[in-house]
Structure 1
């Protein structure tokens, strides 16, 4: 028990509020980059206009990439804190949820490299001297579409993360179950990205449900945090169970060594 004392003595409400702030930052930064930069400069049906917009506003475009990266940093940090916060409700499920979130972060980060690539394609590099201007512009637009599709695939893993996080909240006793129910529904809505034609058709409803799930969790955690006493009780139970398993494993190994020695 002594080796886990630091975990039990953690301030869960403080962890919850920091996680909520990171969650809020992730949402706002993503909206800023997508709606105020990406959607304003990228025109899906017009490669020439997209290329002109990116070149004229190259600084703004690079800012969009930088904001995307900060968004992912916040997402990773948020995932770690939610893992710690929800670990007493189910350590294995909490680890699994965090793993899905990390996979989503990796996929989304890699897709953002394609968001950046048009700046290099459109800069007049001699490496593309075999392509005419129309082909280069089309290639740049294609890269932005790969970025979009890669981010869509990442949403599948974020959806799985949301579902498991919702299950943990329901089982936690230190957070309202309604937050978990809304989170599960939002997570399942993100799973529509398993089939993109359906995902884009129902996207407005998916975004609305996702925003509801995010806003409810962020708002509750910022204002109320968690029930500290119940969290510490669950954490103590988990640590005691973990310590008993550790001692049982040591005893089993000791018996096996004695058996081999005789």
Structure 2
């Protein structure tokens, strides 16, 4: 839509400013009716729903273990940087601040990528993660609330156990806003943490500024539906199906490795 609107603006300027508002309105309506993905979108945090998505952690004996990570791993949780071999991350720092609180941070090289504080409720049934993401054009912040589905091992920290998404709290607008441009078979995705330029139905491409070794393949699967398939080392790690319904975009993200599903909607901003 951005390229289409730029061309339309040039045409209407030559014809006179009186035509500009009318032509722009008609262009937007046509794009919405035809199910165009092109435009700027803002995700609705209240729409987020997770299925079969369980986070499993153990904090005990000075060690942090992430059982739900792919692959699972363990590091010393003493508040000092620990080298790790994870996609896009080469060091983590985890500390058990007190009986109900965990702090963590990540970095790649000399660049700190993010930090978070995990706080377990008094009854031990929910955990709020306040996070800061520094790996983008803008630093963004937000909160995520998890609810317990299983207790951790006896004697472990309160943050141990199995958790699932309860709700996503407020977060920075920059973390929620993204855009697509479509010019013929070329599709361009942009967001605060990067994007990609690909050919619909073409070969997989490496997203901009990607440090994880991943690639994405994009295809148009219907009149108003699209699919992004993310892969690493030849393995599909996520499939995002997008459906445009006027000014609403519905996303369904599936991880075929564990059949977890994440659903959300976004509203067209332009």
Length-normalised TM-score, structure 1: 0.23
Structure with more relative contact order (C-alpha pairs < 8 Å, separation 6 or more) = 1
Q: Which has the higher helix share?
A: 1
**Higher radius of gyration, 1 or 2:** 1
Q: Which has the higher strand share?
A: 2
